[in-house]
């Protein structure tokens, strides 16, 4: 199989954003006099969108819908101002994107981060490499729902089976499988290798450039 496209997750895959995400959510929690969390804990909260993050961060086991909505709005406002303060591409990512581009791969992003913020982070930190860059617009369409991943294939005119999906959580591996794409995980993100293998990753990269070795061996 000749692969023509790579769709990347954003947070934990292309960029390390956990500090900005955690700082924003902690600011909201502190304002309410609620307990805050360290960066390691936030790695277990992310992956399924900001609403899910808010629910996990609030102290009540089943927080009221009104409080979730209020904190979600506050979190997005705070995070939009700080989302590139401490966030940066992982070592080797820019090199990988450049090399894939030189080999005529189509490169895209699909994230469960809110769409506007996904576009902002990508445009500031990863300009000129990625199209389209899509985040979450409707809760029902978040990964592992394959709908948007399949829309990306139509947009860039490649078949799902010609596409590699790369991410750092089981959600990314599952969306790849649901869309009939090659599921590849990364070990440097917010989850461990065991979760990715259990979800069905065919490979787990320990360094971004490891992808080039896999492509050569296919």
Alpha-carbon gap, residue 84 to 148, rounded angstroms = 25
Fold that domain 18-82 belongs to in CATH: DNA polymerase; domain 1 (1.10.150)
DSSP category for residue 160: G
For CATH 1.10.150, list the domain ranges present in the chain.
Answer: 18-82
pTM over 0.85: yes
Residue 158 is encoded by which pair of tokens?
A: 């490649």
- Please tell us whether the domain made up of 5-16+88-217 is placed in CATH 3.40.50.1000: yes
CB 152 within 8 A of CB 131: no
Question: What are the residue ranges of CATH 3.40.50.1000 in the chain?
Answer: 5-16+88-217
Give residue-wise pLDDT tens across range 89-112.
Answer: 999 999 999 999 999 999 999 999
Interval 125-176: pLDDT, tens: 999 999 999 999 999 999 999 999 999 999 999 999 999 999 999 999 999 9
């Amino acid at each position: 199989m000749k692969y023509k496209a790579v769709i990347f997750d954003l947070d934990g895959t292309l960029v390390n954003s956990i500090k900005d995400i955690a700082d924003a959510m902690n600011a909201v929690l502190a304002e309410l006099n609620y307990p805050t969390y360290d960066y390691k804990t936030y790695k277990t909260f992310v992956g399924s969108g900001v609403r899910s993050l808010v629910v996990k961060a609030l102290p009540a086991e089943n927080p009221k819908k009104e409080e979730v909505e209020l904190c979600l709005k506050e979190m997005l406002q705070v995070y939009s101002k700080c989302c590139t303060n401490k966030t940066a591409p992982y070592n080797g990512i820019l090199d990988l994107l450049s090399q894939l581009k030189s080999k005529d791969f189509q490169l895209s992003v699909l994230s469960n981060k809110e769409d506007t913020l996904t576009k902002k982070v990508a445009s500031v930190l990863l300009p000129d490499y990625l199209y389209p860059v899509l985040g979450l617009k409707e809760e029902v369409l978040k990964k592992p729902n394959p709908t948007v991943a399949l829309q990306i294939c139509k947009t860039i005119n490649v078949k799902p089976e010609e596409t590699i999906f790369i991410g750092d959580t089981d959600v990314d591996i599952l969306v790849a499988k649901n869309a009939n794409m090659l599921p590849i995980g990364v070990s440097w993100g917010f989850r461990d290798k065991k979760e990715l293998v259990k979800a069905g990753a065919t490979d787990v990269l320990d360094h971004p450039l490891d992808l080039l070795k896999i492509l050569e061996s296919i």
